[in-house]
Amino acid sequence: MSSMTGAEAMVRMLQLHGVKHIFGLCGDTSLPFYDALARLDHGITHILTRDERSAAYMADGYARVSGRVGVCEGPSGGGATYLLPGIVEANESSIPVLGITTDISTTSRGRYTLTELDQEALYRPLTKRTEVIDRADRLPEAVRRAFRSMTTGRPGAAHLGLPFDVQQGAVAQDTVWADEDLGRYPARRAKPDPELVEQAASALTSAKLPVFVCGGGVVIANAMEELDAVATTLGAPVATTVSGHGSLPDDHPLCLGVVGSNGGTPATRDVLAQADLVVFVGCRAGSVTTERWRHPAQGTPVIHIDADPQVPGAIYRTQVSIVADAKLALQALRDSLMLMQPADGARLVREAKEKKFLEFEELSLKSDFPILPERIVATLNEVLPRDATVVCDPGTPCPYFSAYYRFNEAGRYFVSNRAHGALGYSMAAALGAHYGRPHTKTVSVMGDGSFGFTAGEMETLVRLKAPVMMVVISNSSYGWIKAGQKAGFDKRYFSVDFSRTDHARVAEAFGVKSFRVETTEQLKPALIAAAQHGGPALVDVIAQPLHEARAPVSEWVA
Ligand SMILES: Cc1ncc(C[n+]2csc(CCOP(=O)(O)OP(=O)(O)O)c2C)c(N)n1
């Protein structure tokens, strides 16, 4: 029977699952895998990164916008530990990212071999599935298990360890096969229990003002049309979490926008407070969304729809819990709703948005120095195409873009790493998103703190000539934490300020087209030029520090 090496089988298994891009960084233990990638004809592009953290964030950004599994790789030891932050973020955000780490030979274990570490133990608590493949002949089934695990049920990340000798071992050709459908997510969608759908439909029909709160699960399940149909039939406002942004387009008459402590505003919270029935869809109802489990108030009747059986009932007592794919559940709900008198949700949404945008618009017109975050958001919104993808880091970008940027397309056009909110995500995730949706503009918006975490990746952007645009909100501080010291610790500012970097000059040294903006007159022309530039471009904006801004943030410690 003909055979191939473990490394070759790994490449073929990825190819058979429809993988087109791998983000990663080389290492000693990866040599056979790299050699197989170099020799075989597989149609996969390897994107060499400058840090494994970035590789994982790229795979995450790619997966979020493409609906396909993102793949990243790194070598044993430091590679395996550096890949971890992105794997964790993806796993907790229900995004299927496969992290492949090569490893020392199985025969070298326990002998103080350079880079040895227990990869399975490292990844086990942080992934849906991890497996260090100890035998080459078991490699194909291990890869199939990883893809099944990542894309079915609640999607998430997986890890595969690939020891050096396993990469060189023999794999029988006929064991190398895959179900290509598992390269996309969500795969093998679960249908809702029809009886529970009937109960939910009847509760919705008798509610005066049902309000939806949608998490990332709606966009992940591509359930936007079904949500629109159900909400429109009911006349129900639709609020979202940060990750749920895009469940309805922002210009939809029922789209209330983001609620919660990061991007929510009193006006949006007021609408939620009026609900006599809240429907969580694809949403964990975590601390940020619910402003520490207070909004909606405990005791509000709740219907909870989620792919993960652990989620409904975890935070709120539910009237009906439906464990199913969001698209199938909303479809079933749509088909079960009788003709009814819809609620006047559109009016409530309109009034709340008028209130919310009144102050924002006033501030966005100010020509203050340093430039107000409101001005940056409003100008970017004016300048960028409707279908641009905006990837936001924590700090100033996340709450401001959550609250005020109008994403008028349904779907994943706003990306933020909301599971852990680690700094330094957006530049790499934006590059991944660019590969996931190459024909639309991708923009990364970061604080200067995040810039410091990720600046080295500009070499990758330049080498690849990627037309990714970056905006740095420069305030020479870890602004979010400084704001927390102001709000909760009597302005005892401690170890939160750093010196001003000239980010435009740093970017220029990498070969990035760059602009420094100090005045509001410079802002729009620079943003237009950067958006139109055919390669990577960066706009460094000297901005109002977050602790002085009127940020849409109700809790600094969420
Ligand atoms: C890896 C990591 N370390 C620490 C934090 C805690 N943290 C949250 S926001 C923030 C400050 C962000 O500063 P910057 O990127 O400059 O943005 P700004 O808040 O100033 O707009 C910090 C340190 C974090 N989110 N991630």
Listed residue (330, 305, 288) closest to 92, CA to CA: 288
Question: Pairing state of beta strands 389-392 and 70-74?
Answer: unpaired
Quick: pLDDT tens for 148-201. Answer: 999 999 999 999 999 999 999 999 999 999 999 999 999 999 999 999 999 999
Burial pattern 150-165, b for ≥16 Cβ within 10 A else e, equals bbbbbbbbbbbbbbbb
Between vectors from CA 192 to CA 187 and to CA 197, what angle results, nearest 5°? 150
| Residue ranges of the chain with per-residue pLDDT less than 50 | none
Ligand 1 pocket: which of 377, 480, 542 to mutate (most atoms within 8 A of CB): 480
d(CA 114, CA 170): 25
Q: How many Cβ atoms sit within 10 Å of the Cβ of residue 198? A: 14
> Helices (DSSP H) in 493-552: which residue ranges?
503-510, 520-532
d(CA 469, CA 173): 44
Task: Classify 399 as helix, strand or coil.
Answer: helix
The residue assigned the tokens 């274990």 is: 109
544 lines ligand 1 (CB under 6 A): no
Atom of ligand 1 at shortest distance to CA of 394? 9
The whole-number pLDDT of residue 558 equals 85
Burial pattern 300-311, b for ≥16 Cβ within 10 A else e, equals bbbbbbbbbeeb
Question: Pairing state of beta strands 3-5 and 70-74?
Answer: unpaired
Side chain identity at 23, as an amino acid letter? F
Q: Nearest C-alpha to atom 11 of ligand 1 is from which residue?
A: 478
The residue assigned the tokens 């005045």 is: 519
Show the 3-state SS of 250-285. Answer: CCCCCEEEECCCECCCHHHHHHHHHCCEEEEECCCC
Task: Classify 471 as helix, strand or coil.
Answer: strand
φ, ψ of residue 452 to 5 degrees: the values are -60, -30
How many separate helices (H) and strands (E) can be counted in the chain? 21, 20
421 lines ligand 1 (CB under 6 A): yes
> Which runs of E-coded beta strand occur in 153-276?
158-163, 170-172, 210-214, 238-240, 255-258
d(CA 196, CA 357): 39
| Cα dihedral: 278, 281, 287, 293 (round 10) | 20
89 lines ligand 1 (CB under 6 A): no
Residue 408 burial (CB < 10 Å; 0-12/13-18/19+)? middle
The whole-number pLDDT of residue 526 equals 98
- 447 CA distance to ligand 1 middle (Å): 8
Atom of ligand 1 at shortest distance to CA of 451? 15
546 lines ligand 1 (CB under 6 A): yes
- 481 CA distance to ligand 1 middle (Å): 7
The residue assigned the tokens 């075989």 is: 40
Atom of ligand 1 at shortest distance to CA of 393? 15
Atom of ligand 1 at shortest distance to CA of 424? 1
The residue assigned the tokens 């993960």 is: 308
Listed residue (400, 450, 396) closest to 422, CA to CA: 450
396 lines ligand 1 (CB under 6 A): yes
- 193 CA distance to ligand 1 middle (Å): 43
Per-residue tokens: 123: 């990844």
The whole-number pLDDT of residue 128 equals 98
pTM above 0.85, yes or no: yes
Task: Classify 320 as helix, strand or coil.
Answer: strand
Ligand 1 pocket: which of 261, 450, 478, 481 to mutate (most atoms within 8 A of CB): 478
CA-based torsion, 453, 454, 456, 458: positive or negative:
negative
Question: Pairing state of beta strands 3-5 and 170-172?
Answer: antiparallel
d(CA 343, CA 55): 47
| Cα dihedral: 307, 310, 316, 319 (round 10) | 60
The whole-number pLDDT of residue 222 equals 98
* Diameter over CA atoms, the chain: 74
477 lines ligand 1 (CB under 6 A): yes
- 93 CA distance to ligand 1 middle (Å): 19
d(CA 251, CA 50): 39
Atom of ligand 1 at shortest distance to CA of 446? 15
Cβ–Cβ < 8 Å for 270, 211: no
Per-residue tokens: 338: 């009788």
| Contact partners, residue 58, CB within 8 Å, separation at least 6 | 23, 47, 49, 70, 72, 428, 429, 431, 432, 435
Q: How many residues in the chain?
A: 558
Cβ–Cβ < 8 Å for 212, 237: yes
Atom of ligand 1 at shortest distance to CA of 420? 25
d(CA 210, CA 301): 10
